[in-house]
Amino acid sequence: MLHAASLRDRLSACVPGGVATKNLFVTRAENSELWDTEGRRYVDFAAGIAVLNTGHRHPRVLEAVSKQMELFTHTCFHVAPYESYLRLAERLNALTPGSFDKKTMLVSTGAEAVENAVKIARSATRRPAVIAFSGAFHGRTQLGMALTGKISPYKKGFGSAPAGIFHAPFPNYSQGMTQARALEDLQRLFICDVDPTDVAAIIIEPVQGEGGFNVAPPEFLRALRGLADQHGIVLIADEIQSGIGRTGKLFAIEHANVVPDLITAAKGLAGGFPLAAITGRASVMDAAQPGGLGGTFAGSPIGIAAAHAVLDVVNDEKLCERASRIGERTRDLLSNLARDVPAIGDIRGIGAMQALELVKDRATREPDAALTAKVVADAQARGLILLSCGTSANVIRLLPPLTISDSVLAEGLKILDASIRAVA
Ligand SMILES: Cc1ncc(COP(=O)(O)O)c(C=O)c1O
């Protein structure tokens, strides 16, 4: 029998402290619930950080994966390619925004998708620079880390960033950054720091994930599209957290009616199996020379089988509509709660990507990271798994699987309500 206390001791003895974990060890999981080593059941509002949009162990995902395992598990796509990769590329080319010719390449993780999107944009434009935004999160590789707009814990102590990365402010109303000022600062960046003709790409999360579920205003995204067109810059939408139905559309940028040149997807794409995709304008995607893109595990047949099942489930179970319903129910609860709890400084999000921000004082909006940590711990003690986020670690993000039943959703929201009322 495994016990959490001894597993925690072993964890600290054999895994580096930089790999932070929650204080529980899972033994099994099903749809929107998981169980720990002590037999405790939790409602899962983390979904493996926005991965399990189709829930833990969706039967159709499991079936697709086990069928694939009967055939082959790995050949390396470069050595012996397979049709399922092509079919997934065709599906993503058709499903992503934009009516132009598109191509897709597959990799394994979100950071790898971001790395490749930037490589492709640099290769297509023959330009070096990339603009990302404050509060952004694009992964933990050297380039992903450089593009990320938050120092601690993602960049602190990890040395100097690769050259050519610039940050502009994200229009974040809770931090007093209006859209107009954000655009002015971006123009100033073009005057003071980097000429737009040297910029290969602008990369933006249409809804920032780790940065605090900040929704980019549609007009801001349209303005970026305009600047990208004006200066021949590749616009990359990083939809690794916001994609695959989470916000009520397959991709969050569709809410703004803006078409990026490249789009990255990962997390929810393969229902718990590692797979990521870069999809975009064929003329841009085709710029790299043969052999310049790919990898040993890039486009695992297991991940691809899972992704086909995920896309079928998203369609057949109408998970985009479901995401909107989950969002409405969550929003109702959070709005009621905010009337009674002054520590709730803001509620924001789209669809089933909702968050609440905790502050010391609504007028000054001073972040309350300590209270946020207390709420997350209290909820876990009551049987609900929550994640915090935000540049000041004072945002609680809600990411239930889109397949969650009404009753488990209600149960999770009730625990959230009780925890906030008890602790705030
Ligand atoms: C928007 C975004 N981009 C990139 C990444 C990096 O993905 P991965 O952790 O799979 O490397 C994440 C992960 O949280 C993300 O949310």
Q: Which pLDDT belongs to residue 2?
A: 85
Atom number in ligand 1 closest to CA 208: 1
Least Cα distance to 242 among 201, 284, 272, 214 occurs for 214
- Tell me: the pLDDT tens digits for 115-171? 999 999 999 999 999 999 999 999 999 999 999 999 999 999 999 999 999 999 999
Atom number in ligand 1 closest to CA 114: 4
Ligand 1 centroid, distance to 423 Cα (angstroms): 30
- Tell me: the pLDDT tens digits for 286-334? 999 999 999 999 999 999 999 999 999 999 999 999 999 999 999 999 9
Ligand 1 centroid, distance to 139 Cα (angstroms): 5
What residue ranges define each of the domains in the chain, with the CATH number in brackets?
Answer: 4-54+318-423 (3.90.1150.10), 60-316 (3.40.640.10)
- Tell me: the pLDDT tens digits for 301-312? 999 999 999 999
Confidence of residue 175 (pLDDT cuts 50, 70, 90): confident
One-letter amino acid for residue 387 of the chain: L
Beta carbon of 109 within 6 Å of any ligand 1 atom: yes
Ligand 1 centroid, distance to 49 Cα (angstroms): 9
Report the share of the chain in percent with pLDDT over 90: 98
Dist. CA 196–CA 176, nearest whole Å: 26
Dist. CA 292–CA 271, nearest whole Å: 28
Beta carbon of 110 within 6 Å of any ligand 1 atom: yes
Q: Which pLDDT belongs to residue 322?
A: 98
Beta carbon of 205 within 6 Å of any ligand 1 atom: yes
Atom number in ligand 1 closest to CA 205: 1
Beta carbon of 133 within 6 Å of any ligand 1 atom: no
Confidence of residue 1 (pLDDT cuts 50, 70, 90): confident
Question: What's the N-to-C CA distance of the chain in angstroms?
Answer: 37
Complete DSSP assignment for 386-424: -EEESTTS-EEEE---TT--HHHHHHHHHHHHHHHHHH-
Beta carbon of 114 within 6 Å of any ligand 1 atom: yes
Dist. CA 15–CA 8, nearest whole Å: 10
Beta carbon of 214 within 6 Å of any ligand 1 atom: no
* pLDDT above 90 (res 359): yes
Q: Which pLDDT belongs to residue 173?
A: 83
Beta carbon of 212 within 6 Å of any ligand 1 atom: no
* pLDDT above 90 (res 219): yes
Supply the residue whose CA is at minimum distance from atom 3 of ligand 1: 138
Q: Report the Cα 424 to chain-centroid distance in Å.
A: 28
Beta carbon of 240 within 6 Å of any ligand 1 atom: yes
Beta carbon of 115 within 6 Å of any ligand 1 atom: no
Mean pLDDT within 375-389: 98
Supply the residue whose CA is at minimum distance from atom 8 of ligand 1: 110
Beta carbon of 138 within 6 Å of any ligand 1 atom: yes
Ligand 1 centroid, distance to 364 Cα (angstroms): 31
Least Cα distance to 205 among 353, 326, 343, 90 occurs for 353
Q: Which pLDDT belongs to residue 226?
A: 98
Ligand 1 centroid, distance to 125 Cα (angstroms): 25
Q: Which pLDDT belongs to residue 409?
A: 98
* pLDDT above 90 (res 199): yes
Ligand 1 centroid, distance to 111 Cα (angstroms): 6
Ligand 1 centroid, distance to 137 Cα (angstroms): 7
Atom number in ligand 1 closest to CA 266: 10
Mean pLDDT within 219-228: 98
Beta carbon of 266 within 6 Å of any ligand 1 atom: yes
Alpha helices in 53-178 (DSSP H): 59-71, 83-95, 110-125, 142-147
Beta carbon of 252 within 6 Å of any ligand 1 atom: no
Task: Give me 174's structure tokens.
Answer: 């809770």
Beta carbon of 209 within 6 Å of any ligand 1 atom: yes
* pLDDT above 90 (res 356): yes
Beta carbon of 280 within 6 Å of any ligand 1 atom: no
Beta carbon of 274 within 6 Å of any ligand 1 atom: no
Beta carbon of 135 within 6 Å of any ligand 1 atom: no
Q: Select from 267, 388, 389, 395 the residue to mutate for testing ligand 1; criterion: most ligand atoms less than 8 Å from CB.
A: 267
Mean pLDDT within 181-210: 98
Least Cα distance to 33 among 56, 53, 54 occurs for 56
Tokens 């709660």 locate to 337
Supply the residue whose CA is at minimum distance from atom 4 of ligand 1: 138
- Tell me: the pLDDT tens digits for 38-93? 999 999 999 999 999 999 999 999 999 999 999 999 999 999 999 999 999 999 99
Complete DSSP assignment for 243-306: TTTTTSSSSGGGGGT---SEEEE-GGGGTTS--EEEEEEHHHHTTSPTTSS--SSTT-HHHHHH
One-letter amino acid for residue 108 of the chain: S
Q: Which pLDDT belongs to residue 121?
A: 98
Mean pLDDT within 374-383: 98
Q: Which pLDDT belongs to residue 174?
A: 81
* pLDDT above 90 (res 400): yes
